[in-house]
Chain A
Amino acid sequence: MRQPTEPFEASPSSLRRFLHAALDAMLVPLLAVLTAILVGGIIITLVGGNPFNAYRGLFGGAFGSLKALSETAVWATPYIFAGLAVAVAFKGGLFNIGAEGQLAFGAVAAAWVGYALPGLLTTDLPAFIHVPLAIGAGMLAGAIWGAIPGALKAYTGGHEVINTIMMNYIALNITSFLLNGPMRDPDPLNLSARTPEIAASAQFQPPFEGLRFHWGFVLALVVAVIIWWLVWKTTIGFEIRTTGANPDAAKYAGINVKRTIVLSMALSGMLAGMAGAIEVTALNYRHELGFSVGYGFDSIAIALLGKNHPLGVVLAAILFAAMRNGATRMQFLTQIPIDIISVIQGLILLFVAADVIVRYIYRVRAREDRVVLTRGWGG
């Protein structure tokens, strides 16, 4: 099969055209964010707060110092991976609500390889083998947990939305069981449902003393580029996108639609699993129960805000991370509840999803790029 040609080949006018297209794509999300921030400001004013002070606190807490920047990057890392996971599935016409469960399994698998493998092999592993092994195990676990609903969708028609939701609960229960039972940290001082600390050789050491910034963030950016290349520049990516856009056409074009569906979900699950694995190997050095709460929905919002494009996902993830990270300082300075961030994020999603509202307010013309993802639950 011929490689699909991309609209922006190198030519004199291509840069302008690219910028134009980029701005065009980013306009509605930007306006949505702005509108949400404005509405959020109105809400803060209504409850007697000063929105300027609040947003200044938020901004300062997110970007105001080296430490703040480092923390924002720490928050952004799992958001980027999980956002990419949802975006890849979207590109394949699939709705992955299961990032939460895939992430948890990725973390559990990475933690297990991290603390148990040297003992099993009765040998110490060098870090350059052990770290990739741990992350790889997390990716594999996530991929399997993602591929199951993919296969069920492809071969039985069971809708991935319900199956991924169910598998979130299954993952939650299994993780609880493992962390309270077989995988629980046996240290007598340990009082939590958590795994033992992973071996030093499996720890991705942070580059800067005193900051929690870790290489996972850089890795996330690299993975974003790889995903962009994979989805937009390779045959596999073409098949995923074609299957997502029109499964019937894909079938006539000779694409193995079933296999592509499984592949999209496995890829998606792999990215979510990687988010969990990085949290374990680069940040927490163990997995603890209840640490991943909320990533599932946030990642959907991030993928939508980022228009399912890796660059957009990275930007959206940094925005969400900045809000989550800066919120503590905002509360410290102004006593405005942290929960206002969830309201603003909900509004952002609302305005992105219902772009009609934003387009109407700002008189922006619509481009025909509506996605319809849900075609029933499948029977």
Chain B
Amino acid sequence: MDWRRFGIIALVIIILFSAVVLIGKSQNSPIVIITSMLATTIAVATPLTLGALCGIYCERAGVVNIGIEGMMLGAAFFGWLASIYMNTLFHFSLMPSVIVGVIVAVLTGGLFALLHAALSITFKVDQIISGTVINILAIGITGFLNRQMFFGSGSVFGGNVPSAPGVLPSIRIPLLADIPTFGRMFDQQPITIAALVLVFVTHYVMFYTRWGLRTRAVGEHPRAADTVGINVIRMRYANVLIGGCLAGLGGAYFTLQSVPSFQPLMTNGRGFIALAAMIFGNWSPIGAWLAALVFGAAQALQINLQFFRELIPPQLAFLQNAYVVGLAPYILTMLILTGIVGKTIPPAADGIPYEK
């Protein structure tokens, strides 16, 4: 374990939170502020965490994936579409519609991943180009279908824009959620909880199972793995598909958990930040999750600085420009990546097509 890196992450989060508490303490009590910041951080980190886990499965198996953004965007759209279909055309009620939506989102992520796998593993297309293809295709397909299906006389809904049934309700973790003020943190929506669970599942799978051992072997030294009888191609396909499904779940966060509506380009670059979180966390699930929390905390900070805008002392007026603090996570990622702060060690065969 790289404790220095975790130390840096913890320090960054503490600094961000303290700044907000100091500024806002005349309007809200510190506990309220910290709880609200934490709730925002955890919620916002959800798609980043899932995207980073997608990256980990792919890259641990030796396939670079910069198409996470496109996978999430496609999943967000098709999951949302499925929930509307279920609700409007088949008259399912809220929960079944949304659950079908989540399943479709996960499968969409998987489908995009299949394309990425086929291009990069079978056809040996450069993996970054393949990822770029997925990103551009996802933007085009979702934008086009979004218009074509919901607007104009030719749409399946006859020109009426139907509303989505809604979003996943939040789950109150018994007892913990009943704690006054702090309880809010344990009142989270299902995908957020699933992401948390999946972090530890992935950690276990990667480092304590035969599957994980084989995956890492394929990503570190495919030739050696091949000689001991591991099917390199199959392992890579399987891991990319698993990763795609996780990215799909991350896409569901946008349209089935956060808001019941789709917007072209709504993932807003979160797939790339997830990639950064993965590198920041040195390709380890727990590290990537903590890194996602740093990015989430930075966003929580931006929102809270605007909320407390009128309370910011004049000598700190530059903080009113949310952009200034928004830079921190990106710069930190670059510093980590370049070895100036900590060191990253990617899987040795990451990005290299395997040829027998």
Contact = CB atoms under 8 A, between A and B. Distances in A.
Contacts of B127: 374
Nearest to A343: B140
B343 interface: yes
Nearest to A337: B147
Contact of B326 (A173, A340, A345): A173
A356 interface: yes
B129 interface: yes
Contact of B344 (A169, A181, A379): A379
A161 interface: yes
Interface string B55-95: 00000000010100000000000000000000000000000
Contacts of A372: 126, 352-353
Contacts of B138: 346
Contacts of B141: 343, 346
Contact of B338 (A163, A347, A350): A163
B331 interface: yes
B353 A166 contact: no
B136 A297 contact: yes
Contact of A170 (B135, B331, B343): B331
Contacts of A180: 321, 323
Contacts, number: 164
Contacts of A163: 334, 337-338
Say which size band chain B's interface belongs to: 35 or more
A167 B276 CA distance: 12
Interface of B: 64, 66, 119, 123-130, 132-133, 135-141, 143-144, 146-148, 151-152, 154, 264, 269, 272-273, 275-276, 279, 321, 323-324, 326-327, 330-331, 333-334, 337-340, 343-353
A349 B133 contact: yes
B276 A353 contact: no
B233 to A, nearest CB: 16
Contacts of B338: 152, 156-158, 163
Given A152-B337, A300-B129, A337-B143, 14 more contacts: A152-B334, A162-B276, A337-B144, A342-B136, A342-B139, A344-B140, A349-B132, A349-B137, A353-B132, A354-B125, A373-B126, A377-B344, A377-B351, A379-B346
Contacts of A356: 123
26 contacts: A152-B334, A156-B338, A156-B339, A158-B339, A162-B279, A163-B334, A166-B276, A166-B333, A167-B330, A300-B132, A335-B152, A337-B148, A339-B264, A343-B140, A346-B136, A346-B139, A346-B140, A346-B141, A347-B137, A353-B126, A370-B126, A375-B352, A376-B64, A376-B348, A379-B339, A379-B343
Contact of A342 (B119, B144, B273, B323): B144
B133 A346 contact: yes
A376 B143 contact: no
A357 B119 CA distance: 10
A133 interface: no
A90 B330 CA distance: 24
Nearest to B346: A377
A174 interface: yes
Contacts of A166: 276, 330-331, 333-334, 337
A181 B317 CA distance: 12
Contacts of B133: 346, 349-350, 353-354
Interface in A138-182: 152, 156-159, 161-163, 165-167, 169-170, 173-174, 176-177, 180-181
Contact of A349 (B136, B273, B353): B136
A374 B154 contact: no
Nearest to B326: A173
Given A353-B125, A371-B126, A165 B276 contact: yes
Contacts of B152: 335
Contacts of B124: 370
A95 interface: yes
A19 interface: no
Contacts of A349: 132-133, 136-137
Interface string A324-363: 0000000000010101111111110110011011000000
Contacts of A379: 339, 343-346
B334 A177 contact: no
Contacts of B151: 337
A250 to B, nearest CB: 19
Contacts of B144: 43, 337, 339-340, 342-343
A110 B275 CA distance: 32
B337 A47 contact: no
B161 to A, nearest CB: 14
Query: Which of A167, A340, A377 lies at the interface centre, i.e. has the most chain B CB atoms within 10 A of its CB?
Result: A377
Nearest to B283: A377
Contacts of A340: 140, 144
Contacts of B327: 169-170, 173-174
B140 A167 contact: no
A167 B127 CA distance: 21
A354 B123 contact: yes
Contacts of A174: 323, 327
A354 B148 contact: no
A339 B272 contact: no
Nearest to A379: B345
Given A173-B326, A300-B132, A353-B125, A378 B346 contact: yes
Contacts of B146: 339
Given A170-B330, A376-B347, A379-B346, A158 B337 contact: yes
A304 interface: yes
Nearest to B70: A346
A301 interface: yes
Contact of A156 (B64, B130, B340): B340
